[in-house]
Structure 1
Amino acid sequence: MSDQIPETPLFVRSHGDIGYPLNKMAMSLCQAENREAFKADEEAFLDRYGLSADQKRAVMDRDWEAMVRLGGNLFFILKISAIDPVPITAIGAAQAGMSHDDFVYGRLGKVRHG
């Protein structure tokens, strides 16, 4: 049995260890004062959590696929998406390397109208 799903990065234990700073930072965004600090000076806020340069760049670019690849857990990085708000399907599309419409209609089985 394979633990791989084509075109889908999986969150595994080793990613959790690597992604701990990223996930801890993202979870901190549950607190209003942290969301305000993030919005006021995103780079300084990320520095407080010791993210790697690649993790920091992924967050600042809102590169959801890179965040997962760099150890981000979807349930934590969704906290980041609430800052801008971004629909979860847009994050799924980014992780799959697809346009949002192709993801919604192709992967989720929605029917195109029109």
Structure 2
Amino acid sequence: MSTIPETPLYDRAGSIRGYRMNKMAMSLGIPANREAFKADEAAFLDSHGLSEAEKTAVMTRDWHEMVALGGNLFFILKISAIDPTPMTRIGAAQAGMDHDLFLQQRLGKL
């Protein structure tokens, strides 16, 4: 199997590793959970049993680290909807690029 450097592979191991974070993110589809998340993120994340690394990644909106910790992009997008964070910002973070440069180079937008 070939790998792409610095690209986390979302496989069975990643799914297991990110289970708590993904389950928490999926729960944000429920309005009461979104309100609880907005009211006290740390307590909400603790209630889902997230590790310190997972909590830090979520609370700092470190999209790249969330994926590295086993986060599934489809679930992470539920977190991004809270702020809201445009999907292009997540793409730029994944590529390690400035958002404006990402828009220009990857999407041809000035």
TM-score range, shorter chain: over 0.9
In 2, Cα distance between equivalents of 1:104 and 1:7: 21
- Which consecutive unaligned segments of at least 5 residues does structure 1 have? none
Task: Select between 4-13 and 80-89 the one with higher mean Cα deviation.
Answer: 4-13
User: In structure 2, what residue type is equivalent to 1:75?
Assistant: F
TM-superposition CA deviations, 1:27-51 (whole Å, max 9, x none): 0000100000000110000001111
| TM-score, normalisation: structure 1 | 0.89
TM-superposition CA deviations, 1:73-111 (whole Å, max 9, x none): 000000000000001110011111101112122223x14
| TM-score, normalisation: structure 2 | 0.92
Residue in 1 aligned with 2:62?
63
Seq. identity, %: 67
Task: Select between 6-15 and 40-49 the one with higher mean Cα deviation.
Answer: 6-15
Residue in 1 aligned with 2:46?
47
In 1, Cα distance between equivalents of 2:22 and 2:10: 12
Query: How many aligned residue pairs are there?
Result: 110
- Which consecutive unaligned segments of at least 5 residues does structure 2 have? none
User: In structure 1, what residue type is equivalent to 2:65?
Assistant: A
